[in-house]
Structure 1
Amino acid sequence: MTETRRVQIPIECGPLDLSSPHFAGIGGAGMSALARLLAEQGEQVSGSDIRTTLGMEQLRAVGCRIHLGHRAENLKEPSVVVWSSSIEGDNPELVAARRAGIPTAHRSQVLSQLMNGAAQSVVVGGTHGKSTTTAMLAVALDRRDPSWAGGGAVLGGRNARHGSRSLFIAEGDESDRSITAYRPQVAVVLNVDDDHPETFVDVSEIVEVFRDFVRGSRGLVVSADDPGAQALTALVRDQEGLRVVTFGESEGADVRITSIEAEGTCTWVTLRDLDGVMVTVALRVPGHHNALNAAAAFTAGRVLGVESGELAAGLGRFAGIERRMSLVGTADGVTVRDSFAHHPTAIAADLKAARSLTAGSVVAVFEPCGWTRTAALGPAMGRALAGADKAVLLPVTSTLSSPISEVTTDEIAAAVIEHGGRVHQAAGHAEAAGLLAGLVRPGDLVLTMGTGDVNLLGAQLLADRAATAVS
Structure 2
Amino acid sequence: MTETKHVQIPVECSPLDLSRPHFAGIGGAGMSALARLLVEQGAQVSGSDLNTTAVTERLASAGCRVHAGHHLAHLQQPSVVVWSSVIAEDNEELVAARAAGITVAHRSHVLAQLMNEAGRRSVVVAGTHGKSTTTAMLAAALERRDPSWAGGGALLGGTNAHYGAGQVFIAEGDESDRSIINYRPAVAVLLNAEDDHPENYTGLAETVGVFRDFALAAEVLVVSADDPGAGAVTELVRGREGLRVVTFGQSKGADVHVTGIEAAGPCTWVQLEDLDGTPVTLTVRVPGRHNALNAVAAFTTGRILGIDAIELAEGLGGFEGIERRMNMVGTADEVSVRDSFAHHPTAISADLAAARTLTTGRTVVVFEPRGWARTAALGADMGSALAAADEIVLLPVHSTVTPPPAQIGTEEMAKAAVAAGGRVHQVTGLTDAEGVVAGLVRPGDLVLLMGTGEVNALGARILAHRATTVLS
Q: Which segment is superposed worse, 433-442 or 4-13?
A: 4-13
Matched, 1:72 2:82: no
Which residues in structure 2 correspond to 1:354-373 (within 5 Å)? 354-373=355-374
Structure 1 residue 467, shift from structure 2 partner: 2.0
Which residues in structure 2 correspond to 1:282-431 (within 5 Å)? 282-403=283-404, 406-431=407-432
Structure 2 distance, partners of 1:247, 1:373, is: 30
Superposition RMSD in Å:
1.0
Name the counterpart of 2:8: 8
State whether residues 98 and 104 of structure 1, in contact with CA within 8 Å, keep that contact through their aligned partners in structure 2: yes
Tell me which amino acid in the other structure corresponds to 1:21: P
Structure 1 distance, partners of 2:450, 2:286, is: 17
Structure 1 residue 468, shift from structure 2 partner: 2.3
State whether residues 271 and 278 of structure 1, in contact with CA within 8 Å, keep that contact through their aligned partners in structure 2: yes
Structure 1 residue 399, shift from structure 2 partner: 1.2
Name the counterpart of 2:83: 83
Name the counterpart of 2:157: 156
Name the counterpart of 2:17: 17
Instruction: Summarize deviations over 1:201-255 as a string: whole Å, max 9, x none.
Output: 1101001101111122100000001010000000000110111000111011110
Instruction: Summarize deviations over 1:133-178 as a string: whole Å, max 9, x none.
Output: 0000001101101110000001112000011262100000000000
Tell me which amino acid in the other structure corresponds to 2:52: T
Structure 1 residue 404, shift from structure 2 partner: 5.0
Structure 2 distance, partners of 1:34, 1:23, is: 9
Name the counterpart of 1:201: 202
Gaps of 5+ in 2: none
Change (3 A) 1:318 1:3: farther
Name the counterpart of 1:452: 453
State whether residues 21 and 78 of structure 2, in contact with CA within 8 Å, keep that contact through their aligned partners in structure 1: yes
Change (3 A) 1:160 1:389: same
| SS state at 2:169 partner | strand
Matched, 1:210 2:211: yes
Structure 1 residue 408, shift from structure 2 partner: 0.7
Structure 2 distance, partners of 1:251, 1:352, is: 24
Tell me which amino acid in the other structure corresponds to 2:147: P
Which residues in structure 2 correspond to 1:102-121 (within 5 Å)? 102-118=102-118, 119-121=120-122
State whether residues 269 and 284 of structure 2, in contact with CA within 8 Å, keep that contact through their aligned partners in structure 1: yes
Q: Which segment is superposed worse, 401-410 or 33-42?
A: 401-410
Normalised to the residue count of structure 2, the TM-score between the two structures is 0.98
Instruction: Summarize deviations over 1:323-375 as a string: whole Å, max 9, x none.
Output: 00010000011000000100000000000000011010000000001001000
| SS state at 1:198 partner | coil
Structure 2 distance, partners of 1:74, 1:87, is: 16
Structure 1 distance, partners of 2:405, 2:223, is: 36
Structure 2 distance, partners of 1:224, 1:459, is: 40
Name the counterpart of 2:136: 135
Structure 2 distance, partners of 1:394, 1:405, is: 19
> Number of matched residues?
470
Change (3 A) 1:85 1:457: same
| SS state at 1:23 partner | strand
Structure 1 residue 465, shift from structure 2 partner: 1.1
State whether residues 371 and 404 of structure 1, in contact with CA within 8 Å, keep that contact through their aligned partners in structure 2: no
Name the counterpart of 2:229: 228
Structure 2 distance, partners of 1:51, 1:304, is: 40
Structure 2 distance, partners of 1:259, 1:437, is: 39
Name the counterpart of 1:46: 46
Structure 1 residue 470, shift from structure 2 partner: 2.7
Instruction: Summarize deviations over 1:280-332 as a string: whole Å, max 9, x none.
Output: 00111110000110010011111111111111111001000000001000001
Gaps of 5+ in 1: none
| SS state at 1:102 partner | coil
Structure 1 residue 405, shift from structure 2 partner: 6.2
Structure 2 distance, partners of 1:4, 1:156, is: 30
Structure 1 distance, partners of 2:319, 2:166, is: 23
Tell me which amino acid in the other structure corresponds to 1:79: S
Structure 1 residue 3, shift from structure 2 partner: 4.8
Normalised to the residue count of structure 1, the TM-score between the two structures is 0.98
State whether residues 325 and 339 of structure 1, in contact with CA within 8 Å, keep that contact through their aligned partners in structure 2: yes
Structure 1 residue 4, shift from structure 2 partner: 2.7
Name the counterpart of 1:281: 282
State whether residues 392 and 423 of structure 2, in contact with CA within 8 Å, keep that contact through their aligned partners in structure 1: yes
| SS state at 2:338 partner | strand
Structure 2 distance, partners of 1:243, 1:300, is: 12
State whether residues 23 and 47 of structure 1, in contact with CA within 8 Å, keep that contact through their aligned partners in structure 2: yes
Name the counterpart of 2:175: 174
Tell me which amino acid in the other structure corresponds to 1:239: R
Tell me which amino acid in the other structure corresponds to 2:75: L
Structure 2 distance, partners of 1:19, 1:173, is: 24
Structure 1 residue 186, shift from structure 2 partner: 0.1
Structure 1 residue 39, shift from structure 2 partner: 0.7
Change (3 A) 1:3 1:289: farther
Structure 2 distance, partners of 1:3, 1:317, is: 36
Structure 2 distance, partners of 1:26, 1:400, is: 19
Structure 2 distance, partners of 1:355, 1:4, is: 34
Change (3 A) 1:379 1:8: same
State whether residues 3 and 196 of structure 1, in contact with CA within 8 Å, keep that contact through their aligned partners in structure 2: no
State whether residues 145 and 166 of structure 2, in contact with CA within 8 Å, keep that contact through their aligned partners in structure 1: no
Change (3 A) 1:405 1:464: farther
Tell me which amino acid in the other structure corresponds to 1:76: Q
Tell me which amino acid in the other structure corresponds to 1:28: G
Name the counterpart of 1:61: 61
